[in-house]
Amino acid sequence: MQYAAVNVNGRISDAATAVVPVFDHGFLYGEGVYETLRTYNRRPFLLERHFDRLRASAAAIGLTIPLGDREFAERIDATAAAAPVAGECYIRLLVTRGVGDLSYDPEVCGEPTVIIIVKPHAETPAETRARGIGIIVSSVMRNHPAAVDPRIKSNNLLNNALAMQEALRRGAKEALMRNHRGEFSECSQSNFFLVSGGEALTPPLEAGLLEGVTRDFVFKVARSVGVPARYAVLRDADLAHADEMFITSTTREVLPVTVVDGRPVGAGAPGPVTRALADGFRARVNELCREPARSQA
Protein backbone atom coordinates (compact mmCIF):
# COMPACT_ATOMS: atom_id res chain seq x y z
CA MET A 1 0.00 0.00 0.00
CA GLN A 2 1.23 3.43 -0.84
CA TYR A 3 1.43 5.17 2.53
CA ALA A 4 3.63 8.17 1.89
CA ALA A 5 5.28 10.07 -0.90
CA VAL A 6 9.03 10.34 -0.44
CA ASN A 7 11.20 12.75 -2.37
CA VAL A 8 14.90 11.87 -2.38
CA ASN A 9 17.00 14.51 -4.11
CA GLY A 10 14.11 15.48 -6.37
CA ARG A 11 12.88 11.94 -7.22
CA ILE A 12 9.49 11.01 -5.81
CA SER A 13 8.61 7.44 -4.91
CA ASP A 14 6.50 5.67 -2.29
CA ALA A 15 7.35 4.56 1.24
CA ALA A 16 8.18 0.99 0.22
CA THR A 17 10.67 1.88 -2.50
CA ALA A 18 12.34 5.11 -1.27
CA VAL A 19 15.99 4.42 -0.37
CA VAL A 20 19.17 6.20 0.67
CA PRO A 21 22.66 4.70 0.26
CA VAL A 22 24.13 3.09 3.39
CA PHE A 23 27.23 5.27 3.06
CA ASP A 24 25.16 8.40 3.60
CA HIS A 25 26.51 9.99 6.78
CA GLY A 26 22.93 10.62 7.80
CA PHE A 27 22.53 6.85 8.13
CA LEU A 28 26.05 6.08 9.36
CA TYR A 29 26.38 8.86 11.94
CA GLY A 30 23.01 10.57 12.31
CA GLU A 31 24.68 13.54 10.64
CA GLY A 32 21.82 15.58 9.38
CA VAL A 33 19.06 17.94 10.37
CA TYR A 34 15.30 17.83 10.02
CA GLU A 35 12.00 19.60 10.47
CA THR A 36 8.48 18.33 11.06
CA LEU A 37 5.62 20.37 9.67
CA ARG A 38 1.94 19.89 9.21
CA THR A 39 -0.61 21.47 6.92
CA TYR A 40 -3.81 23.29 7.79
CA ASN A 41 -6.16 23.59 4.85
CA ARG A 42 -3.38 21.79 2.91
CA ARG A 43 -0.90 24.65 3.48
CA PRO A 44 2.35 23.94 5.34
CA PHE A 45 1.99 25.94 8.57
CA LEU A 46 4.71 28.48 9.50
CA LEU A 47 6.89 27.17 6.68
CA GLU A 48 9.36 30.09 6.84
CA ARG A 49 9.95 29.54 10.55
CA HIS A 50 10.74 25.89 9.85
CA PHE A 51 13.09 26.81 6.98
CA ASP A 52 14.87 29.30 9.24
CA ARG A 53 15.33 26.71 11.96
CA LEU A 54 16.46 24.08 9.45
CA ARG A 55 19.13 26.46 8.16
CA ALA A 56 20.21 27.34 11.70
CA SER A 57 20.47 23.65 12.63
CA ALA A 58 22.42 22.91 9.45
CA ALA A 59 24.82 25.81 10.07
CA ALA A 60 25.46 24.50 13.59
CA ILE A 61 26.78 21.22 12.14
CA GLY A 62 28.64 22.84 9.27
CA LEU A 63 26.14 21.79 6.62
CA THR A 64 24.76 23.96 3.84
CA ILE A 65 21.21 23.40 2.64
CA PRO A 66 21.65 23.05 -1.14
CA LEU A 67 18.26 24.61 -1.98
CA GLY A 68 16.77 28.07 -1.67
CA ASP A 69 13.49 28.45 0.23
CA ARG A 70 11.44 28.83 -2.95
CA GLU A 71 12.88 25.74 -4.63
CA PHE A 72 12.44 23.80 -1.39
CA ALA A 73 8.80 24.92 -1.12
CA GLU A 74 8.14 23.87 -4.72
CA ARG A 75 9.64 20.47 -4.01
CA ILE A 76 7.40 20.12 -0.95
CA ASP A 77 4.34 21.05 -3.04
CA ALA A 78 5.24 18.50 -5.72
CA THR A 79 5.72 15.78 -3.09
CA ALA A 80 2.44 16.66 -1.38
CA ALA A 81 0.65 16.56 -4.72
CA ALA A 82 1.96 13.00 -5.26
CA ALA A 83 1.11 11.86 -1.73
CA PRO A 84 -1.81 9.53 -1.08
CA VAL A 85 -3.31 12.00 1.38
CA ALA A 86 -6.92 13.16 1.26
CA GLY A 87 -6.84 15.43 4.33
CA GLU A 88 -4.05 17.25 6.12
CA CYS A 89 -0.40 16.29 5.59
CA TYR A 90 2.46 15.50 7.91
CA ILE A 91 5.65 16.72 6.26
CA ARG A 92 9.19 15.81 7.27
CA LEU A 93 12.19 17.54 5.75
CA LEU A 94 15.59 15.91 6.18
CA VAL A 95 18.96 17.12 4.97
CA THR A 96 21.93 14.86 5.61
CA ARG A 97 25.66 15.19 5.03
CA GLY A 98 25.38 13.00 1.96
CA VAL A 99 27.17 9.90 0.73
CA GLY A 100 30.74 9.53 2.00
CA ASP A 101 32.87 6.77 3.41
CA LEU A 102 33.52 5.24 6.83
CA SER A 103 35.15 8.42 8.02
CA TYR A 104 33.96 11.45 9.96
CA ASP A 105 35.55 13.72 7.38
CA PRO A 106 32.79 15.79 5.72
CA GLU A 107 35.16 16.46 2.83
CA VAL A 108 34.67 12.91 1.58
CA CYS A 109 30.93 13.48 1.16
CA GLY A 110 29.38 14.72 -2.02
CA GLU A 111 26.23 16.82 -2.10
CA PRO A 112 23.91 16.79 0.92
CA THR A 113 20.92 14.47 0.60
CA VAL A 114 17.54 16.24 0.67
CA ILE A 115 14.53 14.16 1.62
CA ILE A 116 10.89 15.15 1.91
CA ILE A 117 8.36 12.72 3.38
CA VAL A 118 4.65 13.50 3.10
CA LYS A 119 2.12 11.25 4.79
CA PRO A 120 -1.33 11.69 6.34
CA HIS A 121 -1.36 13.83 9.47
CA ALA A 122 -2.73 11.88 12.44
CA GLU A 123 -4.95 14.28 14.35
CA THR A 124 -4.94 13.86 18.14
CA PRO A 125 -8.35 12.33 18.98
CA ALA A 126 -10.84 14.78 20.54
CA GLU A 127 -11.21 12.40 23.47
CA THR A 128 -7.46 12.58 24.20
CA ARG A 129 -7.57 16.39 24.05
CA ALA A 130 -10.56 16.42 26.40
CA ARG A 131 -8.94 14.06 28.92
CA GLY A 132 -5.32 15.13 28.63
CA ILE A 133 -2.34 12.79 28.52
CA GLY A 134 -0.10 11.17 31.10
CA ILE A 135 3.64 11.83 31.01
CA ILE A 136 6.63 10.69 33.04
CA VAL A 137 9.68 12.49 34.31
CA SER A 138 12.38 10.55 32.51
CA SER A 139 15.54 9.16 34.07
CA VAL A 140 17.27 9.97 30.75
CA MET A 141 19.02 13.35 30.95
CA ARG A 142 18.61 15.75 28.01
CA ASN A 143 21.84 16.17 26.06
CA HIS A 144 24.26 18.68 27.59
CA PRO A 145 24.32 21.75 25.31
CA ALA A 146 28.10 21.51 25.16
CA ALA A 147 27.82 17.91 23.90
CA VAL A 148 24.99 17.83 21.34
CA ASP A 149 23.07 21.09 21.68
CA PRO A 150 19.30 20.40 21.87
CA ARG A 151 18.79 23.63 19.90
CA ILE A 152 20.07 21.71 16.87
CA LYS A 153 17.20 19.72 15.43
CA SER A 154 19.40 16.87 14.33
CA ASN A 155 18.74 13.35 13.09
CA ASN A 156 20.83 12.20 16.02
CA LEU A 157 17.76 11.30 18.08
CA LEU A 158 18.97 8.53 20.39
CA ASN A 159 18.70 10.79 23.46
CA ASN A 160 15.04 11.51 22.64
CA ALA A 161 14.26 7.93 21.61
CA LEU A 162 15.64 6.48 24.88
CA ALA A 163 13.52 8.89 26.94
CA MET A 164 10.40 8.05 24.93
CA GLN A 165 11.08 4.31 25.19
CA GLU A 166 11.01 4.74 28.97
CA ALA A 167 7.69 6.62 28.72
CA LEU A 168 6.17 3.89 26.56
CA ARG A 169 7.36 1.18 28.96
CA ARG A 170 5.57 3.03 31.75
CA GLY A 171 2.36 3.51 29.73
CA ALA A 172 2.86 7.27 29.26
CA LYS A 173 2.52 9.43 26.16
CA GLU A 174 5.56 11.69 26.60
CA ALA A 175 8.79 11.94 28.59
CA LEU A 176 9.81 15.14 30.39
CA MET A 177 13.58 15.44 30.61
CA ARG A 178 15.91 17.24 33.03
CA ASN A 179 19.14 18.96 32.07
CA HIS A 180 22.55 18.41 33.70
CA ARG A 181 21.59 20.85 36.50
CA GLY A 182 18.42 18.90 37.30
CA GLU A 183 16.16 21.58 35.79
CA PHE A 184 13.44 20.59 33.36
CA SER A 185 14.38 21.23 29.75
CA GLU A 186 11.75 19.77 27.42
CA CYS A 187 10.03 16.56 26.47
CA SER A 188 11.30 13.93 24.03
CA GLN A 189 9.38 15.48 21.12
CA SER A 190 7.63 18.56 22.50
CA ASN A 191 8.13 21.59 24.72
CA PHE A 192 6.80 21.68 28.26
CA PHE A 193 4.66 24.31 30.01
CA LEU A 194 3.39 24.45 33.57
CA VAL A 195 0.64 26.77 34.83
CA SER A 196 0.97 28.23 38.28
CA GLY A 197 -0.96 31.16 39.74
CA GLY A 198 -2.60 31.75 36.34
CA GLU A 199 0.76 32.16 34.55
CA ALA A 200 2.05 29.84 31.82
CA LEU A 201 5.71 29.05 32.50
CA THR A 202 8.19 27.25 30.26
CA PRO A 203 11.93 26.63 30.64
CA PRO A 204 14.24 29.21 29.02
CA LEU A 205 16.55 28.30 26.12
CA GLU A 206 19.46 28.21 28.60
CA ALA A 207 17.88 25.08 30.07
CA GLY A 208 19.02 23.32 26.85
CA LEU A 209 16.07 22.72 24.57
CA LEU A 210 14.74 23.07 21.08
CA GLU A 211 13.23 26.47 20.37
CA GLY A 212 9.85 25.07 19.36
CA VAL A 213 7.98 26.86 16.63
CA THR A 214 4.77 26.06 18.53
CA ARG A 215 6.30 27.25 21.84
CA ASP A 216 6.98 30.66 20.24
CA PHE A 217 3.55 30.74 18.62
CA VAL A 218 1.91 29.97 21.98
CA PHE A 219 3.57 33.09 23.46
CA LYS A 220 1.82 35.14 20.75
CA VAL A 221 -1.48 33.35 21.38
CA ALA A 222 -1.07 33.96 25.13
CA ARG A 223 -0.79 37.70 24.52
CA SER A 224 -3.89 37.71 22.34
CA VAL A 225 -6.02 35.76 24.83
CA GLY A 226 -4.69 37.62 27.89
CA VAL A 227 -2.77 34.78 29.55
CA PRO A 228 0.51 35.87 31.18
CA ALA A 229 3.37 33.70 29.86
CA ARG A 230 7.08 33.79 30.68
CA TYR A 231 10.26 31.72 30.81
CA ALA A 232 11.12 30.21 34.18
CA VAL A 233 13.59 27.69 35.54
CA LEU A 234 11.44 24.73 36.58
CA ARG A 235 12.42 21.87 38.85
CA ASP A 236 10.83 18.77 40.39
CA ALA A 237 9.49 20.77 43.36
CA ASP A 238 7.46 22.96 40.97
CA LEU A 239 5.43 19.98 39.77
CA ALA A 240 3.64 19.65 43.11
CA HIS A 241 2.43 23.29 42.95
CA ALA A 242 1.35 23.20 39.32
CA ASP A 243 -2.32 23.86 38.64
CA GLU A 244 -2.07 22.73 35.02
CA MET A 245 0.48 21.45 32.52
CA PHE A 246 0.60 21.11 28.78
CA ILE A 247 2.99 20.27 25.98
CA THR A 248 3.39 21.98 22.62
CA SER A 249 4.51 20.72 19.24
CA THR A 250 3.69 21.07 15.58
CA THR A 251 1.74 17.83 15.48
CA ARG A 252 0.17 17.93 18.95
CA GLU A 253 -0.45 21.72 19.13
CA VAL A 254 -1.35 22.62 22.77
CA LEU A 255 -2.06 19.31 24.49
CA PRO A 256 -3.09 19.11 28.17
CA VAL A 257 -1.06 16.95 30.55
CA THR A 258 -3.24 15.70 33.37
CA VAL A 259 -1.06 12.97 34.92
CA VAL A 260 2.65 13.03 35.78
CA ASP A 261 4.33 9.88 37.05
CA GLY A 262 0.90 8.42 37.79
CA ARG A 263 -0.23 11.41 39.93
CA PRO A 264 -2.97 13.82 38.81
CA VAL A 265 -1.98 17.37 37.91
CA GLY A 266 -4.17 19.93 39.76
CA ALA A 267 -7.77 18.83 39.43
CA GLY A 268 -6.73 15.97 37.11
CA ALA A 269 -8.48 17.50 34.09
CA PRO A 270 -7.44 20.10 31.50
CA GLY A 271 -7.59 23.51 33.22
CA PRO A 272 -8.90 26.91 32.07
CA VAL A 273 -5.51 28.37 31.08
CA THR A 274 -4.60 25.37 28.94
CA ARG A 275 -8.04 25.39 27.35
CA ALA A 276 -7.82 29.13 26.61
CA LEU A 277 -4.44 28.64 24.93
CA ALA A 278 -5.53 25.54 22.99
CA ASP A 279 -8.69 27.31 21.75
CA GLY A 280 -6.74 30.52 21.04
CA PHE A 281 -4.19 28.49 19.08
CA ARG A 282 -6.88 26.97 16.86
CA ALA A 283 -8.60 30.33 16.37
CA ARG A 284 -5.32 31.92 15.23
CA VAL A 285 -4.57 28.98 12.91
CA ASN A 286 -8.01 29.35 11.34
CA GLU A 287 -7.36 33.06 10.75
CA LEU A 288 -3.98 32.41 9.17
CA CYS A 289 -4.97 29.40 7.05
CA ARG A 290 -8.43 30.35 5.86
CA GLU A 291 -7.49 30.10 2.18
CA PRO A 292 -6.84 26.58 0.92
CA ALA A 293 -3.63 25.90 -0.98
CA ARG A 294 -3.98 26.98 -4.62
CA SER A 295 -3.44 23.50 -6.04
CA GLN A 296 -6.27 22.22 -3.83
CA ALA A 297 -8.74 25.05 -4.42
Active site members: 153
**Is residue 5 a contact residue for ligand PMP (CB under 6 A)?**
no
In whole angstroms, how far apart are CA 15 and each of 1, 18, 28, 115?
A: 9, 6, 20, 12
Q: Within 177-216, which residues bind ligand PMP (CB under 6 A)?
A: 186, 189-191, 210, 212-215
User: In terms of CB distance, is 109 or 148 closer to ligand PMP?
Assistant: 148
Q: Which amino acid is at 213?
A: V
Assess 160 for contact with ligand PMP (CB under 6 A).
yes
| Cβ-based nearer residue to ligand PMP, 191 or 274 | 191
C-beta of 138: minimal distance to ligand PMP in Å?
A: 12
Tell me the CB-side half-sphere exposure of residue 232, using CA atoms within 13 A: 16
The rounded distance, in Å, linking the Cα atoms of 174 and 238 is 18
Residues 229-258: x where in contact with ligand PMP by CB under 6 A, - otherwise, as a string: -------------------xxx--------
Residues 6 or more apart from 266 whose CB is under 8 A from it?
Answer: 242, 243, 244
Name the minimum Å distance from CB 263 to ligand PMP.
23
The least CB distance from residue 211 to ligand PMP, in Å, is: 8
Q: Any contact of residue 94 with ligand PMP (CB under 6 A)?
A: no
Query: Could you give the angle at the alpha carbon of 164 between the alpha carbons of 158 and 166, nearest 5°?
Result: 105
Instruction: Answer whether 225's CB lies under 8 Å from 218's CB.
Output: no
> Per rule CB under 6 A, is residue 36 in the interface with ligand PMP?
yes
Beta carbon nearer to ligand PMP, 29 or 219:
219
Restricting to residues 48-87, name those near ligand PMP by CB under 6 A.
Answer: none
In the complex, what is the shortest distance from the CB of residue 250 to ligand PMP, in angstroms, rounded to a whole number?
A: 3
Min dist CB 34 to ligand PMP, Å, is: 9
143 lines the binding site for ligand PMP (CB under 6 A):
no
* Cβ distance to ligand PMP smaller for residue 4 or 164: 164
Which residues are near ligand PMP by CB under 6 A?
36, 160, 186, 189-191, 210, 212-215, 248-250
